[in-house]
Structure 1
Amino acid sequence: MSAKLEHLSAQLKLALGDTLVRLEHKLDEITVEVAAKHLTVAAEKLKAHAELQFEQLIDLCGVDYSEYADGLWEGPRFAVVIHLLSVSLNQRVRLRAFATDDGFPVFPTLVDVWPVANWFEREAFDLYGMMFENHPDLRRLLTDYGFVGHPFRKDFPMIGNVEMRYDPVQQRVIYQPVSIDLRNNVPRVIREEGAHRG
Structure 2
Amino acid sequence: MTDSRLEKLAKHLEKILEGQEIDISRALGEITVLVHSRDLLGVIEILKTHEDLGFDTLVDLCGVDYSEYSTETYAGYKRGDRRFAVVYHLLSVKHNYRLRVRVFAEDNEFPAIDSVMSIWPSANWFEREAFDLFGIIFNNHPDLRRILTDYGFIGNPFRKDFPLSGHVEMKYDPDQKRVIYQPVTIDPREITPYIIREEQYGREKV
Q: TM-score, normalised by structure 1?
A: 0.90
Tell me the residue number matched to 1:68.
69
Give structure 1 stretches of 5+ with no counterpart.
187-195
Counting only pairs closer than 5 Å after superposition, residues 115-194 of structure 1 correspond to structure 2 as 115-186=121-192
The alpha carbon displacement at 1:107 in A equals 0.3
Q: Which residue of 1 aligns with 2:29?
A: 28
- Structure 2: distance between partners of 1:171 and 1:10: 65
- Say whether residues 1:55 and 2:56 are aligned partners: yes
Partner of 2:76: none
Match of 2:93 in 1: 87
Q: 1:35·1:98 contact (CA, 8 Å) conserved in 2?
A: yes
Shift of 1:118: 0.6
- Does structure 2 conserve the Cα–Cα contact (< 8 Å) formed by 1:20 and 1:32? no
**Alignment-mate amino acid for residue 63 of structure 1:** V
Are the equivalent residues in 2 in contact too, given 1:86–1:92 (CA < 8 A)? yes
Output the CA distance in 2 between the equivalents of 1:156 and 1:102.
Answer: 15
Report sequence identity in percent.
54
Q: What is the CA-CA distance between 1:177 and the residue it aligns to?
A: 1.0
The structural deviation recorded for 1:18 is 2.9
Residues 172 and 100 (structure 1), Cα distance of their counterparts in 2 relative to 1, 3 Å cut: same
Find the counterpart in structure 2 of residue 41 from structure 1. 42
Deviation at 1:135, TM superposition (A): 0.3
Per-residue CA deviations over 1:108-149 (Å, capped at 9, x if unaligned) read: 000000000011000000000000000010000000111000
Answer with 1 or 2: which has the greater Rg. Answer: 2
Query: What's the secondary structure of 2:46's corresponding residue?
Result: helix
- List structure 1 runs of 4+ shifted beyond 4 angstroms: none
In structure 2, what is the Cα distance between the partners aligned to 1:33 and 1:197?
43
- What is the alpha-carbon distance in structure 1 between the residues aligned to residue 125 and residue 35 of structure 2? 22
Determine the structure 2 residue equivalent to 1:98: 104
Distance 1:143 1:136 in 2: 19
Cα deviation, 1:57-92, whole Å, max 9, x if unaligned, reads: 00000000111128x943411000000000011010
Count of equivalent residues: 189
Instruction: Identify if the C-alpha distance between structure 1 residues 197 and 170 changes in structure 2 by more than 3 Å, giving closer, same or farther.
Output: farther
**Contact 1:109–1:121 at 8 Å: present in 2 too?**
yes
Corresponding residue number in structure 2 for 1:193:
none
